[in-house]
Structure 1
Amino acid sequence: MRYPIGFMMAQARHRAKMEKAGITRYPTVLMLEPLYTCNLACIGCSVERHTGKLKDRLSVETCLKAVDDCGAPIVNLCGGEPTLYPELKELIEGLFARDKYVILCTNALKLDTKVFGVIPPDPRLFIMIHLDGLRETHDYVCNRAGVFDKAVEMMKRAAELGYYVYINTTVYKETSVEEVEALCKLVDELKAQGILVSPGYEYESVERDIFLTREQIHEKFRQIRSFAGKYKVCATPIFLEFAAGLRELPCSPWSTVNYTPMGWKSPCYLIGERYIPDWETFWNTTNWEYWESRLDPRCQNCKMHSGFEHSAVTEAMKTLKGKLQLAAWSLK
């Protein structure tokens, strides 16, 4: 199967519960950033995500309140670098106690000291390792030599220890399609569970010209789509069609909400027009209809997985053909 059965059933139950209640907008994933501290300063990363101080991190209690407030079944621990969060074990245990699935999104540099032997493997814990290309490209994007080799070493160790392991690849100008396919093959070689591939988002605070234009996204993802079916690519078929410019989708910014050391980031994980301390104000005052429309200039080149995968699944569920295609993809 593309994902463990429990993970897929948790999402399906959540969607069914919302639909039964007549709710059309609801979070499916919480992007939880307990800290902005990071041990890398990747060239494609928004500046605040690698300049934060450890003393400004969120408490476990505050993190868990955000989890309870939004109600999403999946929590993506990101940042910053979550393995630097001193209370990581306590936080993950609190998430498991709430029956949440946890995606630990990491550069892998500290997995051997902060996770292995500290937080045991669990079917609800997925380790998502950031690899944006092969050695030369990834180390360039991370702005440090040796990061690729360390990440691959940690992937091997994680798989041997029994963790669920995934690769997260953001495609930049420097990322060749051949490298993306090589990473897909690496998933199989290392006996990992899959690879998530998404175009990079053009953060305003990033000075280097590393991001793809809309046309470049389409060109690269048409090639990626041509071989995606041979590998454990986690993006759904309709999302890949969207990334390849073969169909349009509205954004679902409310499906992947973001809680940070500065509060709830509005409107989405990528654009921070404002930061709001409490959930009710964030949820009820954000103009979701406007951001769904993608009329804002900052949305024009965005085809990030976080904003559109929910829309892709919703589109698939509208027809019998779409449902069968999604089911076949999930079971493959």
Structure 2
Amino acid sequence: MMTKIDFSSLYSLLGNLHSRVPFGLGSRYALPPFFVQIEVTHRCNAGCPMCYQKTKLGTNDEMTPEEIKHIIDQLPAWCVLSLTGGEPFIREDFAAILEYGLKKKRCTILTNASLVTDSHIDLMVRNKLLLMAVSIDGIGDTHDGIRKSAGLFDKAVETIKKIQEKKKALRTNFPLIDIKTVIMKENLGQLTDILGLADNLSADFITYSVPRHMDNLYSAPYREDIREICGALPSYPRLEDGELELLTKQVSRIRKYSGKTKVRFYPANMLDERTLGKLYRQELSPQNFRACSLPWSRMSISPHGDVYPCLSYLVGNARRESLASIWNGPRFREFRKCLERNRLSNFCLGCCNSICNDIAVEK
């Protein structure tokens, strides 16, 4: 069986090669997508303040399981499928969607893990779900307070324990478990505690990310004019000097961790006081980051079938058009052209997939 480190390295390498080849050749056309994210719903049983989808609750016009299956059927054989929300398990018919996805593709899920049943666990482990990303932003009441839902922490931990027990019983490594933690004022003093929890739960990964105020540039309404995207500015939560000092101390301790859980930070290369300070003081510009090739390998699809690259720029609708016609259609190519010409838009700064250029930061 492939180890977690092998999987992580291989996935990153293949994804990078898949997008970098056409990007490096200067083509605005792309190979068929390597990674497709389907938001099966915008509904959720939590109320996270940092979530950019909290204004989009409701069941109106969500794609049916058959519509989602039709999208899955159009994906290339090598494509990795991510099923997200909202909270995907809030859909009563999610098991049918998940089962179909697992039979057809390598799948991942992003969830708060509070609505996962024993039958869901059996389905995921037996069919080797590739990875389950579980949001945990604090220990106990801290997590529940951030997510505005009592008991969420205990349910998430219980779900992870059950999955690990099932994996052991069936002698499989899958699904890999990735603890997702958003860094914010409320949990600055618990970042190492969350790492300890991940270690105790035998999680394969823990991923820390820096939040931004997303406004609606990652959500509906989707922009028709690309200039609205490329000219927008991000907004980071401010940290006082003492809070930034606490964060850098926590990060320093995390860097010294040598356990089995693999630690990741988003954005990457944000592991020192100088760079973290520049990020939170909003002193970084697109020139401080490497050029991005992700729109040459990834696409996202909303619960209503709207297709967008990453930012809220509408490139088509999967209910009315084929994915192939959207993927290399004029609007997707226009987005790639904008990114190619400008390296990054201002709003890309701090994206989970952005990579800071250390040399540029030091200037």
TM range (shorter): 0.7 to 0.9
Structure 2 CA distance, aligned partners of 1:242 and 1:9?
A: 23
Which structure has the bigger radius of gyration? 2
Tell me the equivalent position of 1:63.
68
RMSD after superposition: 3.9
* Residue 227 of structure 1: how far off its partner (Å): 2.3
Q: Is the 8 A contact 1:263 1:275 kept in 2?
A: no
- Residue 102 (structure 1) aligned to one of 96, 99, 107: 107
Question: CA 1:84/1:45 → structure 2, altered by over 3 Å: closer, same or farther?
Answer: same
Are residue 248 (structure 1) and residue 289 (structure 2) matched? yes
Q: Is the 8 A contact 1:267 1:291 kept in 2?
A: no
Relative contact order, CA 8 A, sep 6+: which one is greater?
2
Tell me the equivalent position of 1:272.
312
* Residue 193 of structure 1: how far off its partner (Å): 1.3
Tell me the equivalent position of 2:99.
93
Question: CA 1:136/1:49 → structure 2, altered by over 3 Å: closer, same or farther?
Answer: same
- Residue 224 (structure 1) aligned to one of 251, 256, 277: 251
Question: CA 1:294/1:114 → structure 2, altered by over 3 Å: closer, same or farther?
Answer: farther
- Residue 186 (structure 2) aligned to one of 174, 197, 221: 174
Structure 2 CA distance, aligned partners of 1:9 and 1:153?
A: 30
Question: CA 1:241/1:133 → structure 2, altered by over 3 Å: closer, same or farther?
Answer: same
- Residue 161 (structure 1) aligned to one of 157, 166, 173: 166
Tell me the equivalent position of 1:320.
none
Q: Which amino acid letter does the alignment assign opposite residue 303 of structure 1?
A: G
Q: Deviations over 1:21-48 (max 9, x none)?
A: 7876564432211122222222211245
Are residue 303 (structure 1) and residue 350 (structure 2) matched? yes
Tell me the TM-score normalised to structure 1 length: 0.73
Please give the residue correspondences for 1:85-234 in structure 2 after superposition, counting only pairs within 5 Å.
Answer: 85-98=91-104, 100-112=105-117, 115-162=120-167, 163-176=175-188, 178-204=189-215, 212-213=237-238, 220=247, 223-224=250-251, 227-228=254-255, 230=257, 231=259, 232-234=261-263
Q: Which amino acid letter does the alignment assign opposite residue 131 of structure 1?
A: I
Tell me the equivalent position of 2:300.
258
Tell me the equivalent position of 1:79.
85
Structure 2 CA distance, aligned partners of 1:294 and 1:121?
A: 43
Gaps of at least 5 residues in structure 1 are 316-332
Question: CA 1:156/1:97 → structure 2, altered by over 3 Å: closer, same or farther?
Answer: closer
Q: Is the 8 A contact 2:125 2:163 kept in 1?
A: no
Question: CA 1:70/1:123 → structure 2, altered by over 3 Å: closer, same or farther?
Answer: closer
Bigger Cα displacement from structure 2, 191-200 vs 89-98: 89-98
Gaps of at least 5 residues in structure 2 are 168-174, 218-234, 277-287, 358-363
- Kindly, what percent of the aligned residue pairs are identical? 21
Tell me the equivalent position of 2:281.
none
Structure 1 CA distance, aligned partners of 2:121 and 2:316?
A: 35
Q: Secondary structure at the match of 1:144?
A: coil
